Amino acid sequence: MKIQKEIIEFEQGKSFKLFSPSLKNCFFWHYHPEIELVYVEAVNGIRHVGKNISGFTDSDLLLIGSNVPHLNFDYGIQTECRQLVLQLRESFLQDIILPVPEFENIKTLLERSYLGLSFYGETKETVVQKLQIIKDKNAFESLVGLIEILQILADSSEVKELNKEDTRIKWFLNDKIRMGTIYDYIHENYDRKPNVNEVARIVSLSTPAFCRYFKKQTNMTFTDFVNNYRINQAKIFLLKDQSVTEVCFQVGFESLSYFNKLFKQHTGETPSEFKKKHFRPIEINGKIAPITKETACNK
C-alpha cells in the first residue's frame, strides 16, 4: 500500500499504448515516468492525483504528468465502470514533440501535465470519441490520431488544474505511512463515526503527528476528508433512487439540514437538485428501473 513504481511495457514499434484496465478493489497508489491520459466512466468516483482528492460524476478525463503519484480511478467504486488509459513512452516528449516547432502547444501541455489536468465539456466528449477511433487503427494512423488528440487538449480552455504545486514523486519519497490503510479504515467506518485517534493508532502515529501528516499529504483535515468521502458515497446512493433522508443517515450524517448544506458546498447543488439532474431511470423488459450496480454502464 506504499507508493509503488509501475513498470510499463510497450509493444515493439509503438510510441504509446491504449488499453482498458480494471483494478476495482485493489488500492494501487503508484507513479511512473510515462505521461498518462485517463478516461473513466462511472456513476460516481474519486480522483486522487498528487495532493488533490476530489470527486467526479458520470465521467472524467485526466492528463497526468510524469512521476505524479495517483490512485487507480476505479478504486472503491461500487457500481460498474469502464476506463480507457493511454500511456506515452518516456521519450515521447523528447523525441517526437520537442524537435517539431509546430508542436509548441503540445509541448506546453505535456510539460504542464505535472499539475494533473482534468478536462470537461465538448473537449472531453471529442477526445473520448477519438480515443475510441484510434483503438482500431494501424500504428501510423493511431499515432496521427494521438497527435490530433493532444492538439485538441493543448488548445482547450475546458480544463482544471488539480494541483497548484509540484507533487511529483520526489515530494512523496519520504512517505512511510500507508495511505491505503487510512483509505480502508475510512471506507469501513464512514457511515459511523471515524475516530482520528483510532486511525492514528493503526498507522502508529500520535494523533497530532497523524493530523499533520494527513494535512500535508492531502491538503485536507481528516474530518474534511471523511465528509468528502461521505458526500461521494451519497451521490452513489442518490443515483440508485434512494430518498435524500435515507441517504443522509446511510452515509453517517445525523442532521438532514447539515447534510444538505455540506452537499451543496461540495457540489454546488442540493441533494435533491443533484438527483433530479443526474438520475436517469432505464427500461428493463419494458419497465422503468433505477440505475443499479448491474445496469449503470448500460445507460
| pLDDT per residue as tens digits for the range 30-60 | 999 999 999 999 877 888 999 898 888 889 9
**Cell triple for residue 37?**
491520459
What lies within 8 Å, CB to CB, of 218 at 6+ separation is 51, 53, 225
What value, to the nearest 5°, has the Cα angle with vertex 164 and ends 160 and 169? 110
Q: Range(s) for CATH 2.60.120.280 in the chain?
A: 4-161
Average pLDDT of the residues in 260-269: 93
Q: How many CA atoms lie within 13 A of 81 on its CB side?
A: 30
Mean pLDDT on 87-104: 95
**In the CATH scheme, what is the homologous superfamily, with its name and number, of domain 174-282?**
Homeodomain-like (1.10.10.60)
Q: Where are the beta strands (DSSP E) in 36-80?
A: 36-49, 52-64, 70-71
What CATH number was assigned to the domain covering residues 4-161?
2.60.120.280
Where does CATH 1.10.10.60 sit in the chain?
A: 174-282
Q: Three-state DSSP class for 268?
A: coil
Q: Which residue has the higher pLDDT, 159 or 75?
A: 159
285 confidence band (pLDDT: 50, 70, 90): very low
pLDDT for the residue 297 = 34
Environment class of 242 (CB within 10 Å of its CB; exposed 0-12, middle 13-18, buried 19+): middle
Answer yes or no: is pLDDT of 208 > 90: yes
